[in-house]
Chain A
């Protein structure tokens, strides 16, 4: 018996996602190792002594051929052995562990807030298309998209932390903190992240629904005398589901990256903050590891979006 074509499609997407990951690991490696000039020199600056340069070269193993270094790095990465930081000589795995949890916590809470709000607003705007409700939502979200995250962040700090004194301006959390306290601490960064993501997600949700509502089968349902409710739930929703799921997961991917700037604004002890600090210190191994983790999360989420929208597509679910 032939495999279900859906399985084949999903398997293809999985393979494509993993292949992309592999190529991206090469790109990130090339990005940090094979740039013009001497890496060690670049890290230390022009005024460095020859001995210091030689030390760094040895530490990074720069005398070995590039492809060997790449394979070493890749297999180390897969085993969870990320190497040592240049700046403070600590194992990178230890530095990252707690930070990664914090970042995922922040992004997770933001997603939990943003997804329901964005999808409901999107449906609302599509339902009341071209009325004042739609236009208001559209202008507000356009403004939100246009603002840099740090503007929204400091604006919220100014209003809620400085003027109203209802939330802390710095989101400091530490291991062993109780959940309600933790949530209180991240209230403002979560709000900042959510605002930006909601705007994007809502606009895309609206577009997906408007697109489905313009289909001839919706007109046909209307000509069959079906109720508005039945048209929405039974005829529009199953077809809008696939694009909406896609929109949601794509925005989760965006959220993971948007976290970098927000962490810096609120001095939040997450991966983004760590990465930025170590870029400034030219601590290549740490930057590489953080970059690879961010990129992998992003790629895996995008792949999930693809697979989910394949699974939600009725035409692909019931092949000829």
Chain B
């Protein structure tokens, strides 16, 4: 019974609403954490998981209040405890790893001074002991040059390294529990796997318990012994990882597990003139060359997915195709017609035939225009529709994107993220384009909402024969909807072809790294992947590693 390190009972936490009135973020959650156990907390934005994580340190953010329930750490009650008691516990008995390490490290001090701070201040360590421990842990978390690493300032090391340094900071005083709050969310997928492996390894070796908070079920499945699924501040389901993954009981959990199982129909390549063709494009921002000799072809009614990490040049390619960034050299052809490089030189009709849908629907819709004005503008601008005719068409478009007609009079602020993205799609459709460029259209959305948007895009393609240029870093999305795949790395195309070809080995080493870094919804995926990489290295094959190492 007393083996529970952390016991939370019927915890209620309130936050402050728009005009100061309180509303509940966490609505009566109970939780148990045993010594050496890793508990995954999973949920979408607004589930209250971060608030709950902070509460296990007896902490509530500005405006939030721990109103009711109990939080006992090693038998000590933290809710309502005096600040003095909380200070002795925080950083020593229970430590925290934040999502954005870049913001959570103080820019004014060297890493090591911050890393040993809690241990030296109130963990009973001498400076020399704490430093030695920190250096041991740098090596453990595979940070470069462990002897010198701590001498650097936060802005002098990469994001993945900072995230590991923060894990070291949490571990130095040997706490019983570490709370990890989305520690890999801000990282590229190939870096994420490294950090995840390092964290997992360290937790196991040091025998610490952990609360691992994330929105990514596949990720948490690699590290957690047990998983709690949260939604809107309430517990949906709790169970061992294997049970959650293989035999989820709640409908919500089932949906989470089954996300990204959408699939398009295989389309044969058409022999006609391609909708869009890009030949030998070079592009640069000032002196910085970002695209090198990029050539690709998008056939009518098909989807080409461009994948790559941040900095691969995939979004720049979208800017070049739309004319926002005229290329240094190369040609862009739209259905057999060569397009001028610069936006200003393209005709109205050429502009109409390529439409762009953005990543962040929040900033892609003018907050001072109604949905009707937003969708109606291209109808007036390109086709001269006005009055009743325009209204009729706006309503048709809303129906197309599965939104109620009543939305026409609303403002964007009154819509959810997924609904806004549908409005963006409707606005693009209004221009009756041939090519639609989708720039990370689902990455700002929760998984289930994203799924709905993908289904919508597939349906629209089937109905209208639209061609999509789909830019994304998310391989699960690619697998779901692409016909062809283009893999970009440092401004160059490293591999391209039909989806089946690209996804089947042998791959280009970078494609291989990218593909094998995407967490899969199965137990032991992380260990297996890493073991595979080691084995292949041992056989002398070329295995690429994340640039972050």
Contacts and interface: CB of A to CB of B under 8 A. Distances in A.
A226 B103 contact: no
Contact of A220 (B104, B121, B153): B104
Given A223-B57, A226-B121, A315-B155, A216 B107 contact: no
B89 to A, nearest CB: 7
A226 B117 CA distance: 8
Given A217-B104, A226-B118, A314-B108, A320 B156 contact: yes
Contact of B106 (A214, A217, A223): A217
Nearest to B118: A224
B91 A239 contact: no
A238 interface: yes
A146 interface: no
A222 to B, nearest CB: 7
Nearest to A239: B108
Contact of A230 (B92, B121, B156): B121
Contacts of B90: 222-225
Contact of A217 (B105, B153, B155): B105
Interface string A214-239: 11110111111111001000110011
Contacts of A235: 106, 108
B153 A314 contact: yes
A221 B103 CA distance: 12
A169 to B, nearest CB: 49
A216 B103 contact: yes
Contacts of A234: 109
A219 to B, nearest CB: 8
Q: Main secondary structure on chain B at its contact with chain A?
A: mixed
A225 B91 contact: yes
Q: Main secondary structure on chain A at its contact with chain B?
A: helix
Interface string B82-115: 0000111111100110101001111111000000
Interface in B211-240: none
Interface in B441-499: none
A208 to B, nearest CB: 14
A220 B155 contact: no
B122 interface: yes
A318 interface: yes
B74 to A, nearest CB: 15
Nearest to B89: A225
Interface in B95-152: 95-96, 98, 100, 103-109, 117-118, 121-122
B252 interface: no
Chain A contact-residue range equals 20 to 34
A215 B108 CA distance: 13
Contacts of A219: 61, 98, 104
Contacts of B109: 234, 238, 314
Given A217-B105, A220-B104, A314-B108, A226 B155 contact: no
A227 B120 CA distance: 13
Interface string B271-292: 0000000000000000000000
Given A221-B106, A222-B59, A318-B153, A227 B98 contact: no
A225 B92 contact: yes
A220 B89 CA distance: 14
Contacts of B59: 222-223
A226 B90 CA distance: 8
Contact of B122 (A214, A225, A315): A225
Interface in B322-349: none
A217 B103 contact: yes
Nearest to A225: B90
A220 B98 CA distance: 8
13 contacts: A215-B103, A216-B104, A217-B103, A219-B98, A223-B91, A224-B117, A224-B169, A225-B90, A225-B91, A225-B118, A230-B121, A314-B108, A320-B155
Given A217-B106, A225-B122, A226-B87, 13 more contacts: A217-B104, A219-B98, A220-B98, A220-B104, A220-B105, A224-B90, A225-B86, A225-B118, A226-B91, A234-B109, A235-B106, A315-B107, A318-B156
